[in-house]
Amino acid sequence: MNLSITPGTVVTLNYRVIDTDGQLVDAGREPMTCVHGGFGGTFAVPVAALFGCRVGESVTVVLKPAEAFGEYAPALIDTVAREASVLDPVVGMLLESAPGGSREPDHHLCRVTDVHGDRVVLDGNHPLAGMALVFTGTVRAIRRATAMELAQGRPGPGRAEAPHDAGR
């Protein structure tokens, strides 16, 4: 049987992501595998666009920032005292931080974007926040999801890809 993508199928894609200027963001060196149908996630829009596709078919979807990695949020920029950071912070370094420098358990990763004297600027935005992206995916394989995969909303270990006609 030649399956098409419907909710409850596991889809394996070859993909590529570029920005709207054509600059490569993700070459998709490894195929992407997901369970199709209502599980959300960062790339919910392109996964939804795959509905009805069969092996070998492709989709191209332009993602607004909110559909990709979110709008850029200036509130996620924080300046901290150098001694509250690490001994020798370097621009580009990733640090774990609590919002507003608090000691809340809600830690997240921040990038060091500037080091100026005794102050360190941390950016909690995803590096691709605020960017519109173009996602192109070609269906490589489709199979029915297992009950466990449906419950988890993601493919199980060792089950990433199966023959496209696994509907037996």
Model pTM score: 0.74
Q: Which residues pair with 114 in a beta bridge?
A: 121
| CATH code of domain 74-123 | 2.40.10.330
Show the low-confidence residues of the chain (pLDDT under 50). 158-168
Residue 146 is predicted with a pLDDT of 93
Residue 98 is predicted with a pLDDT of 56
| CATH code of domain 9-69+129-152 | 3.10.50.40
**Rounded to whole angstroms, what are the CA distances from 61 to 8, 11, 135, 138, 152?**
21, 17, 5, 12, 26
Q: Where are the domains of the chain?
A: 9-69+129-152, 74-123
Residue 164 is predicted with a pLDDT of 37
